[in-house]
Structure 1
Amino acid sequence: MAVVVRAGAAPLWWFGVVAAGVGAVPEGWTGRRIGVFAGAALFVVAAAVVALTRRRRYDALARGASRAGKYDVLQDRAVTVRNWRRGHRWWLVLAWALALGSAFAVPVAGGLLLAGCGTGLRLKAGWLGRRERALDSLLWVRVDWLDGRGGRPVGKAVKGLRGTGIAAGDAAPGGTRRRTAALV
């Protein structure tokens, strides 16, 4: 589940940083100074809102997670990330274009808002990773409950979560890539 949450964090962050950097060039209607301060405020607010949104639903699903069965379809981390990013690429490009366009009104602010959303997703994935460590179980959303675009990890179609051991799959708690020790 944390993999689906984390899949959008990096693109949002990087598109936001690029948009903020490019957005610092035009003077805008409000001026750069006001744009940077407004962007900093938007960054903090967006990160907090995204990180704290729907925590009760995540918590309820995590508490009710059942052990993954033989016929549950679970997919690798890389496939989940690829599916989410392919399914949302036009939304990401549209958000980036809007952040760039907003720089002519309020420089830097749109890019920092986008970066704040990415940071919030990363914080939420970290929180989920701590929950997974506390439960000593990786939490998975069944693939057939996600739509083809990668889906929403706690959407209406998700009826429950499946749990496996911490060592299962190619994802570590929190949705990060599992680091394997090189054999000597």
Structure 2
Amino acid sequence: MGRGAQSLARVAVVVRAGAAPLWWSGLIAAGIGVLLPGLTGRRIGVLSGAALFLIAAAVTALLRRGRYAHFAESATRAGRTDILQDRRVTLRNWRRAHRWYWAAAVVAAIVSSFALPAAGGLLLAGAGAGLWMKALWLGRREQDAQKLLWLRTDWADAGPLSKRVKGFRTTGIAAGDAAPGGARRR
């Protein structure tokens, strides 16, 4: 890289990276949990899981929106020498870095099914749905401002709002290979 050049990853893609694995692993863990009778019984477990799903989705979608809005408003323009990372590369890197956390979460969800069937898996699925909703919210902000939000890739490993992140960068709406919100560009 040249002098001052930095590699940038899309903020919405980093947020969305955990959504699909949490959603699918949560549904699989809930399916396995339904097969176990549990201490409380299936009906109570599934109803508790449905409540946990709604709570987790709402909390995950609404958590730290103010900080995202602050970073979006104070974002600086990306430089000409900055390198924009592909969506697929960002997803792959983030998911590889966090795969052991997901595995531990799935095991914990399945083990919790011995007490409350399917509740742990539905909690994971709710967190995945909340991340997806947060990425959609970021996409709407990007569409309204006509600016895509980016962050340095060395900061993205810990998450888009970790303590290492000092701010976001912006580009025009046509930059990169991901649509606003982090989805594949059609």
TM superposition score category, shorter chain reference: over 0.9
Quote the offset at 1:158 in angstroms: 1.1
Contact 1:3 1:77 in 2 (8 A): yes
CA RMSD in angstroms, aligned pairs only: 0.9
Q: Does 1:135 align with 2:156?
A: no
1:31-46 equivalent positions in 2, closer than 5 A: 31-46=41-56
2:173 aligned residue: 166
1:27-176 equivalent positions in 2, closer than 5 A: 27-146=37-156, 150-176=157-183
For 1:73 and 1:92, how far apart are their aligned partners in 2? Answer: 29
Amino acid at match of 1:153: P
For 2:154 and 2:119, how far apart are their aligned partners in 1? Answer: 38
Amino acid at match of 2:175: A
1:17 aligned residue: 27
For 1:62 and 1:155, how far apart are their aligned partners in 2? Answer: 15
Task: Indicate the SS of the match to 2:177.
Answer: coil
Contact 1:74 1:143 in 2 (8 A): no
Contact 1:73 1:142 in 2 (8 A): no
Task: Indicate the SS of the match to 1:69.
Answer: coil
Quote the offset at 1:30 in angstroms: 0.2
More strand by share: 2
Runs of 4 or more consecutive aligned structure 1 residues displaced over 6 Å after TM superposition: none
Scaled by the length of structure 2, the TM-score of the pair is 0.92
1:182 aligned residue: none
For 1:16 and 1:144, how far apart are their aligned partners in 2? Answer: 29
Identical-residue share of aligned pairs (%): 64
For 2:12 and 2:98, how far apart are their aligned partners in 1? Answer: 17
Scaled by the length of structure 1, the TM-score of the pair is 0.93
Quote the offset at 1:71 in angstroms: 3.1
For 2:107 and 2:181, how far apart are their aligned partners in 1? Answer: 30
For 1:143 and 1:5, how far apart are their aligned partners in 2? Answer: 13
For 1:178 and 1:31, how far apart are their aligned partners in 2? Answer: 45
Query: Any gaps of 5 or more consecutive residues in structure 2?
Result: 1-10
Quote the offset at 1:60 in angstroms: 0.2
Contact 1:136 1:166 in 2 (8 A): yes
Aligned residues: 176
For 1:90 and 1:71, how far apart are their aligned partners in 2? Answer: 34
Quote the offset at 1:152 in angstroms: 0.7
Task: Indicate the SS of the match to 1:177.
Answer: coil
